[in-house]
Amino acid sequence: MESMFSKNRPGWAALLDRKVADYLPDLKYTHDEPLARHTSFRIGGPAARMTFPTSCEQLVLLMGFAEECGVTPLLLGNGTNLLVADEGLDTLVLQTGEGLNRISLDGETIIADAGVSLARLGVFAWQHSLTGLEFAHGIPGSLGGGVVMNAGAYGGELKDVLTEVTALFPDGVRTLRGEELALGYRRSLFTDHPEAVVLRAKLALQSGSAEQIKARMDELAAKRRASQPLELPSAGSTFKRPEGYFAAALIDQCGLKGTRVGGAEVSRKHAGFVVNVGGAKCADVLALIQKVQDTVFTATGVTLEQEVKIIQ
């Protein structure tokens, strides 16, 4: 498979180094940063350059630098739905989860930067007696990634509360609302426009009982601990839910629990998860995903579509 970064301009890194040194000298900016440190799978080789913007203004500036230097950047929130190549990435990685983390409140509406974790948003809502984000408390990803994929769990999804998104497009910063966001199952306008970068979003909630909100969050957390392999590195649910079926049930019916390739294994606790049981490589996970897809299709005729995003 051709790398999505293969068209980067030769010498882009040296050009970018000078830009950052001249205009953002205090920015955290690293060379050959191991991406295994920044993904929940604990898999991934080094990024040629990685930076950690602390404001939306810095992020916009860095995106402009990337365009001028001829490099296609990768936006990385909390790295919870990604599988990164073992060879690493010859590109600039913009890590938003560490620095773009501002949250504010306007009445019953939360305004948050793209790097804020969904789990933290759930806690913030509870602390202000606002209901509507209980489902998000156990989702480890960032708001930006959650918007792109319309993240959801246990009957709730961001679509239920998301009212406005400010994003950077090639022609400038735009604010989208309502139907413009094209929110559906694990998709949005941004899945069709990967060149756009989510900067911040607004979530409209409702007043509720802090005690009841906390009880619901505790209930969902207990369900996750009981059913999901949270003790092992993974990228969450490996496959999307096929129409009319549940991916985990199909995989389980095919006797694939515990199937292993290298350090990658179909979780014995939840068949919908591929987990890193120790030293797993990207190639191990890809081979195991293919084996699961082939076995399920042969046995049931159902095609499993991967939910985890492959970055090579």
Q: Residue 104 pairs with which residues in a beta bridge?
A: 111
Sign of the CA dihedral running 166, 94, 192, 301: negative
Q: What is the pLDDT along the chain (312 residues), one digit of tens a residue?
A: 567 888 899 999 999 999 999 999 999 999 999 999 999 999 999 999 999 999 999 999 999 999 999 999 999 988 988 999 999 999 999 998 888 999 999 999 999 999 999 999 999 999 999 999 999 988 888 999 999 999 988 889 999 999 999 999 988 999 999 899 999 988 999 999 988 999 999 999 999 999 999 999 999 999 999 999 999 999 999 999 999 999 999 999 999 999 999 999 999 999 999 999 999 999 999 999 999 999 999 999 999 999 999 998
Q: Does the annotation count 225 as an active-site position?
A: no
Q: Is 237 labeled as catalytic in the residue annotation?
A: yes
Q: At what angle do helices 12-23 and 56-69 cross, to 10 degrees?
A: 140
Task: Read off the pTM.
Answer: 0.88
Greatest Cα-to-Cα distance within the chain, rounded to the nearest angstrom:
59
CA pair distance 234, 190, nearest whole angstrom: 24
- The active-site residue, picked from 49, 237, 265, 267, is 237
Tell me which of 186, 200, 216, 267 is the catalytic residue. 186
Contacting residues for 306 by C-beta, under 8 A, at least 6 apart: 238, 239, 240, 289, 293
Active-site choice (98, 108, 164, 307): 307
Domains, the chain, in order of start with CATH, read: 12-95 (3.30.43.10), 103-212 (3.30.465.10), 229-311 (3.90.78.10)
